[in-house]
Amino acid sequence: MSLHQGNDRNTRDDRSATMSSDEIRRLSLNPFYGEADPVSAMNSAPPTHRLPDGPIPPSTAYQLVHDELMLDGNSRLNLATFVTTWMEPQADVLLNECRDKNMIDKDEYPRTAELERRCVMMLADLWHAPDPQSAVGCSTTGSSEACMLAGMALKRRWAKRNADRYPATARPNLVMGINVQVCWEKFCDFWEVEMRQVPMEGDRFHLDPAAAAQLCDENTIGVVAVLGSTFDGSYEPVADLCAVLDDLQERTGLDIPVHVDGASGGMIAPFLDEDLVWDFRLPRVASINTSGHKYGLVYPGVGWALWRTAEALPEELVFRVNYLGGDMPTFALNFSRPGAQVVAQYYTFLRLGRDGYRAVQQTSRDIAMGLARRIDAFGDFRALTKGDELPVFAFTTADGVSNFDVFDVSRRLRERGWLVPAYTFPKNREDLAVLRVVCRNGFSADLAELLIDDLDRLLPELRHQDHPLDRDKAVATAFHH
């Protein structure tokens, strides 16, 4: 959540210092909102930055909120987000039916708890856990919480192994590529773990296994591999990483577990890249997370964290809540949390099955690859990825293009309603600025065609610019998710 602080200088109340803000608010109300008595709405403009003194009719409150939200973007045109922006009407019905259910109330909502358990078992099976029926896992609010939980388990296991040195002298560290999502930075900061990052190098935009192994020592709680990278959609080489760590163990005795951050790829690779070995088939993979609300195809907030066996999740991190006269183990940062998304996840698993997921994800990949090819064909751009791993691709301006940059393209597309983020890469490729397109279910071939049409229309104008337009560098480089 944004951490809001007091009065935002840009709010309307501040800008309209010459006219009392209440007066402006009063005039801004549509008299029709007063229902039977149009004038009543004009007398009852509630303040927006302190709790109103009294109530207003529900229809008036609805219209006020609804009208303000009209300025939000159109989520279907948002090619920046990985998060689901379309579900079918039956899912909406179930979500509505379950919106009052609290996930933690296992006693009150035992069937919701059972659906969560089934989802965990289905994912354990999908990710080849040694014994899916006894798999350990939980739902979360998203991958960030799942990554925190997985990181906590890694840290606790390391702390127990090193009880003679920790907390007295040893300081734990976690190794990862510099391309990890910001949640890993948060984990390391919040849980006081040193973050050791492998930088990008040349045309390598994600983790290099050998470089990762070099950063490991006796205080390394684990290595994070990302499937696939938020920056460009590429899969990190999980099997190679495990092989290098096997070799490290043989040479030094260090036994370092791997966590796979499959926020997106955890729901792509099992359907489209069945031969790719990245999951619990690799004995070194201790835990995996995914976002149910990304390619799991559910509206935001649901994620999943799974451990290969009960031993990978230290028992003392597990809390127990009442459940039908007994107790049920839980592992979460939150206590109360909506149950509706978990129900929607189970619905989507039932609804699509493996073949359905394969069809949906293949369509997104086909659209991504086709779009990447079409964009390449303009000649103004150079592709960094092709959309053939995650249905996501990144591209930059071609060598010799000096009239405009990726930030100009992003801004001009925004004028047409498209949200295509432009951002610079991290260390050691800060020189490289890219655009990224995330293709999701609901971004149809027709919409992709419209995006190409819009690019085709605006490129001649960009080519005629004398130089890239000035931009606010802080904003341009702030993109991290």
By residue count, the chain amounts to 481
Q: 183 vs 367, which CB is nearer to ligand PLP?
A: 183
User: How far apart are alpha carbons 277 and 225 in whole angstroms?
Assistant: 13
**Window 184-223: residues binding ligand PLP (CB under 6 A):** none
- Strand 136-140 relative to strand 303-307, pairing: antiparallel
Q: Which two tokens stand for residue 78?
A: 């948002």
Q: Give least dist CB 65 to ligand PLP, A.
A: 25
Of all residues in this chain, which one has the CB nearest to ligand PLP in the complex?
142
Distance, in Å, from the CA atom of 2 to the CA atom of 310, rounded to the nearest integer, reads 35
- Residues within window 234-293 making contact with ligand PLP, judged by CB under 6 A: 261, 263-264, 291
Is 341 a binding residue for ligand PLP by CB under 6 A? The answer is no
| Among 78, 143, 234, 441, contact with ligand PLP (rule: CB under 6 A) | 143
**Closest distance to ligand PLP from the beta carbon of 143 (Å):** 3
Closer CB to ligand PLP, 82 or 423, in the complex: 82
Which amino acid, 174?
L
Phi, psi of 328 (to 5 degrees): -125, 135
**Choice between 232 and 408, CB closer to ligand PLP:** 232
Instruction: Give the count of residues interacting with ligand PLP (CB under 6 A).
Output: 15
- Of the candidate residues 137, 257, 266, 303, the single one contacting ligand PLP (CB under 6 A): 303
Q: Which of 291/441 has CB closer to ligand PLP?
A: 291
Of residues 79-118, those binding ligand PLP (CB under 6 A): 82
- 142 belongs to the binding site for ligand PLP (CB under 6 A): yes
Q: For ligand PLP, which residue of 104, 120, 135, 183 counts as binding (CB under 6 A)?
A: 183
Identity at 170, one-letter amino acid code: A
Angle at CA of residue 169, ends 217 and 175, nearest 5°: 30
Write the CA distances from 49 to 44, 53, 56, 64, integer angstroms.
15, 12, 16, 14
**In the complex, what is the shortest distance from the CB of residue 299 to ligand PLP, in angstroms, rounded to a whole number?**
12
Q: Which is nearer to ligand PLP, 181 or 234 (CB)?
A: 181
Using only C-alpha atoms, what is the Rg of the chain?
25
Distances (CA, A) of 359 to 151, 266, 344, 364: 33, 16, 19, 9
End-to-end CA distance of the chain: 14
Q: Which is nearer to ligand PLP, 209 or 266 (CB)?
A: 266
Q: Where are the alpha helices (DSSP H) in 219-267?
A: 238-252
By CB under 6 A, tell whether 226 contacts ligand PLP: yes
**Which C-beta is closer to ligand PLP: that of 64 or that of 180?**
180
Single residue of 44, 112, 139, 144 touching ligand PLP by CB under 6 A: 144
Q: Which residues contact 239 (CB under 8 A, 6 or more apart)?
A: 277, 278, 282
- Which lies closer to ligand PLP via its Cβ, residue 421 or residue 468? 421
Token digits of residue 181: 């999502």
Give the range of 103-111, 136-144, 170-178, 315-323 binding ligand PLP by CB under 6 A: 136-144
* CA distances for 326 relative to 117, 321, 322, 383, angstroms: 16, 8, 6, 56
Q: Which residues are near ligand PLP by CB under 6 A?
A: 82, 142-144, 147, 181, 183, 226, 230, 261, 263-264, 291, 303, 481
